[in-house]
Amino acid sequence: MTLPPPLSGLPRTPADITGPAPAAPPQPPAHPSGPTRATATPSGTPATPYNRHPTTTPSPTPTTPTNSAQTTPTTSPTPTTLTSTPYSTPATRVLAVDIGGTKLAVALVDASGELLRRGEVPTPDSTDGPVVVGALLELIAHVAEGVAPAAVGVGSAGPIDPVRGTVSPVNIPAWRDFPLLDHVRAAVPGVPVVLIGDAVAAAVGEHWRGAGTASTALLGIVVSTGIGGGLVLDSRSYPGPTGNAGHFGHIVADPLGPECPCGARGCVEAIASGPAMTRWALANGWRPGEPGPSVRPIGARELAADARAGAPVAVAAFERGAAALAAGIVSVAAICDLDQVVVGGGVSRSGEILLGPLRRQVAAQSHLGFVRRLRVTPAALGGDAGLVGAARAALSALSPSTPPPPSVQPVPVQPVQPQPVQPVQPVAEASAGVSAPTILPEIR
């Protein structure tokens, strides 16, 4: 493997490299916060910081509930008949929750993976655990209003502890060993609630309904502020014994590379994340596109724009990032005998600027026959992959003895063609018809 330009002379500011945070937009290159954590500033969201307290302040955005700031559902879904062995049927509705440092998203999902209702709010920028969970529970109450979901799947930024049901998302400092599942169980009582990592959820979502439906051994990677990964092995999600498998971002791509906050050197994340590529480009003479000093923070989006326009340093930054991603991918392929890698996350939206060099580098580093057959494809579900995967986990919890789709047969619950998920439905719109259950499309 040859990483394009020299690796020395990189600025080493661990503070602005964050943990895996799939949907987070690129960070400004020099973040003011200390080395203790890297926040997920909701850049790209309204200029006013989202900082309300759910019980006192009216909702500032149309995507939040307009009344009832309580953290419990107003129309409490009373699941009257939960049999001892609940199976999912075509009429089953589950609740999917996606916890990220930038946004909290909740969707009501049917058994085929269709998002029936969807809502999201910016993750409250608060150090107060109850404030953050209050916003989440409010959103859950709103999305679940009038229906009784049969199970809840929660995909959360990690680290997570699925056994204890606690989460400590790097980008949500208010939550450390936070008993998230206890809160969700209290809000949606009497149904199974499962917790998986956000990157695992994204991989499962893409495998189920996205770009990876034909795969039996899939690595889903999320290239964003951090770099995360999730595995689907033998057509079923592989979260690992502690729920933290697929830690793609901390594979060492270059032992002599830049330091990573995790303590190692040359981790994939330390080279190929949005902030890492941006930082390298700036250190190597990249001058972000004119005109004038930009109000917006300079990040991977600007880097991609300049690379598309042919700026040599920007192009080289993506080549370098792609080489590191490829090194990690080829190693995982040798370990797990993958057939597909699905690339999602904010940085992947730069499209062929990243994927072109990535495919080239994977091919250049692949020599084993089975690794050479590996396909590298862009994600198809965008920001909804995590919700779809969390829904899948919830459905799995309903029928523990029904295994996930086998490799030798088509996925049983839905056509395998990738379909775009229906347009995002803001909660405000959804709520207009919430009282009438007929808004839910009939299952064929």
Partner 1 sequence: MQQGANLPGLGSYNRSVVLGAVQISGGISRVEIAAMTGLTAQTVSVIVRRLLEEGLVREDGSEPSSGGKPRTILRVAPEAGYAVGIHFDPGGLHYVLADLAGRPVRTSRSPVRGDHSPERLTARMGTAVRRLLAEAGVPAERVLGIGLACPGPIDQPSGTMVHPPRLPGWGKVPIGDLLRAATRLPVTVDNDATAAVIGERWAGLGRTAASLAYLYLGTGVGGGLLLDGRIYRGRSLNAGEFGHITAVPGGPPCRCGNLGCVEAVCCPDAIVAAVHERLAGGAGGTLAAAFRRDPSRVGHARICAAAAAGDPVAAQVIGEVAAHLAGAVVTIVNVLDLDLIVLGGPALGPAAEIYRSTIAEAVASRAFTRRLRPAEVALSPIAADAAAIGAASLVFHAAYAPDPATLLSQGTRRP
Between 143 and 260, name the residue whose CB sits nearer to partner 1.
Answer: 260
Residue 397 in the binding site for partner 1 (CB under 8 A):
no
How many C-beta atoms lie closer than 10 Å to residue 116's C-beta? 17
Pairing relationship of beta strands 166-167 and 160-161 according to DSSP bridges: antiparallel
Backbone angles phi, psi at 103, to 5 degrees: -140, 155
Distance of CA 334 to the CA centre of its chain: 25
Between 102 and 168, name the residue whose CB sits nearer to partner 1.
Answer: 168
Residue 402 in the binding site for partner 1 (CB under 8 A):
yes
For the record, the structure tokens of 199 come out as 């990157």
DSSP string, 86-121: ----TT-EEEEEEE-SSEEEEEEEETT--EEEEEEE
* Shortest distance in whole angstroms from residue 242 CB to partner 1: 5
* Shortest distance in whole angstroms from residue 170 CB to partner 1: 12
Residue 367 in the binding site for partner 1 (CB under 8 A):
yes
Residue 241 in the binding site for partner 1 (CB under 8 A):
yes
Residue 269 in the binding site for partner 1 (CB under 8 A):
no
Residue 110 in the binding site for partner 1 (CB under 8 A):
no
3-state secondary structure of 342: strand
Q: Are 27 and 16 in contact (CB under 8 A)?
A: yes
For the record, the structure tokens of 226 come out as 């951090």
Backbone angles phi, psi at 95, to 5 degrees: -105, 130
Between 248 and 286, name the residue whose CB sits nearer to partner 1.
Answer: 248
Residue 416 in the binding site for partner 1 (CB under 8 A):
no
Residue 243 in the binding site for partner 1 (CB under 8 A):
yes
Contact residue for partner 1 among 24, 152, 245, 362 (CB under 8 A): 245
Q: Rounded to an integer, what distance in angstroms lies between the CA atom of residue 430 and that of residue 116?
A: 9
Between 98 and 269, name the residue whose CB sits nearer to partner 1.
Answer: 269
* Shortest distance in whole angstroms from residue 109 CB to partner 1: 21
* Part in contact with partner 1 (CB under 8 A); list of ranges 258-266, 282-290, 300-308, 314-322: 258-266
Cα Rg, the chain, nearest whole Å: 21
C-alpha distances out from residue 22 to 109, 191, 223, 244, 249, Å: 21, 28, 7, 15, 12
User: What is the biggest distance separating any 2 CA atoms in the chain, rounded to whole angstroms?
Assistant: 65
Q: Write the interaction track for partner 1 spanning residues 328-347; mark x where CB under 8 A is met and - where it is not.
A: --xxx-xxxxxx--------
- Residues contacting partner 1: total by CB under 8 A: 62
Contact residue for partner 1 among 104, 152, 252, 388 (CB under 8 A): 252
Contact residue for partner 1 among 11, 400, 437, 441 (CB under 8 A): 400
C-alpha distances out from residue 371 to 153, 213, 330, 339, Å: 33, 19, 7, 8
Between 241 and 293, name the residue whose CB sits nearer to partner 1.
Answer: 241
User: First-to-last CA distance in the chain?
Assistant: 50
- Under rule CB under 8 A, which residues in 124-163 are in contact with partner 1? 159, 161
* Shortest distance in whole angstroms from residue 234 CB to partner 1: 6
Q: Kindly list the residues in this chain that would bind partner 1 in the complex (CB under 8 A).
A: 1-3, 87, 159, 161, 215-217, 229, 231, 233-235, 238-248, 250-255, 262-264, 327, 330-332, 334-339, 365-368, 370-371, 373, 399-403, 405-409, 412
